[in-house]
Amino acid sequence: MPQSDNGPVANGSAGDASPPAGPRSVHARHARPQAAATIGVIVADATTGLFADPYYLALLEGIMAALAERSLMLMLMAPMSPAELKATKALVARKDIGGVILVGLHTDSPLPALMQSLEIPAVTVGHTVRELSNVECDCRDGAMAAVEHLISLGRRRIAVISGDLDIPVAVDRLLGYREALAAAGIAMDPTMEEVADFLADRAHLSMERLLLSHPDLDAVFVASDQMAAAAVGVLTHARKRIPEDVAVIGFDDSRFALETSPALSTVRQPFEELGREAVHVLMRHIAEPHEAPRQVRLKTKLVVRASTVGREGTTAAGRPS
């Protein structure tokens, strides 16, 4: 299974055009106008904050850069209602696009089956579908590295705030947390697990509940930096010292990790490389439609900052394969 070492993730704009209502479209520069030269990206977990989300921004940067290098056009579809989803399906069914990259899929999404029924080349990002190629980061391994780091610092009462468990990457991060505890001989406690659906306001409430039920917790692994920033706010308000009283580690290495005080330890995902690799796999599938689906997994890196070790400075290290 191919793996790749990755450098720092750069966040940036996903394009100059603002998304119109309904299925949204953004075009890579220097693109050809032919329909066959158009690649679709469907963000199935779209929200009103799509273009402010560091994950989607960096992922789209990678996709757009890879398409621009090939003089290809990008059509971005981000349905946020049943009517928009219906319009997206109708647009795809017209076969005006040469292939599709599916992002943010929930476990029950109908989109992979639709691509197969229409015989449209498709690649999923972060969601394994046996019949389709998939590109993802090893979130389970990254979560294990995060919790192992906390354990190495002597933390034993470690809580977790998970993302939306209808999304496979969130499940992987929760499983990584549990596996790290089990490997260290630390008994799992369901009351130390909260789910906040990757939303900051829910993470805020989750951290409050954890402090009420477990005032002696000494660490928390949070499945995204944005949620971790909210957790830090609650801990600070509760006069918990970070990391002396409670160590905090996030996931993504997004801008939130550096905006939080103290700066967040986290797990770096190679977002832009993920987007580039998705385009590479899709183009190969278009050229060789009879090839078996490919499964590409990129490695994450542990980034250690002040929220766990109590000092400034950054180190990044991959876990042994």
Residue ranges, CATH 3.40.50.2300, the chain: 35-137+270-299, 139-268+302-317
Cis bond before residue 262 (omega within 30° of 0) = yes
The pLDDT assigned to 183 comes to: 98
Is the domain covering 139-268+302-317 a CATH 3.40.50.300 domain? no
Rounded CA separation 64/47 (Å): 20
Rounded CA separation 147/319 (Å): 12
Q: What are phi and psi of 125, to 5 degrees?
A: -115, 115
The pLDDT assigned to 315 comes to: 63
The pLDDT assigned to 319 comes to: 55
User: Residue holding tokens 């106008």?
Assistant: 33
pTM: 0.81
The pLDDT assigned to 7 comes to: 36
User: Residue holding tokens 């090893």?
Assistant: 138
Fold exhibited by the domain 35-137+270-299: Rossmann fold (3.40.50)
Q: Average pLDDT, whole number, for the chain?
A: 85
The pLDDT assigned to 16 comes to: 38
The pLDDT assigned to 3 comes to: 40
The pLDDT assigned to 316 comes to: 62
Q: What are the C-alpha distances in Å from 144 to residues 38, 68, 181, 199?
A: 39, 36, 9, 22
| pLDDT tens, per residue, the chain with 321 residues | 334 434 333 333 333 333 433 444 444 433 333 445 899 999 887 665 566 677 888 999 999 999 999 999 999 998 888 888 888 888 888 878 899 999 988 888 888 998 988 889 999 998 778 889 999 999 999 999 999 999 999 999 999 999 999 888 999 999 999 999 999 999 999 999 999 999 999 999 999 999 999 999 999 999 999 999 999 999 999 999 999 999 999 999 999 999 999 999 999 999 999 999 999 999 999 999 888 999 999 999 999 999 999 865 556 665 543
The pLDDT assigned to 189 comes to: 96
Please, which residues have CB within 8 angstroms of residue 104's CB and are 6 or more apart in sequence? 43, 44, 45, 46, 56, 125, 126, 167
How do 158-162 and 193-195 pair as beta strands? parallel
The pLDDT assigned to 28 comes to: 41
Torsion of CA 74, 80, 81, 84, to 10 degrees: -10
Rounded CA separation 50/171 (Å): 21
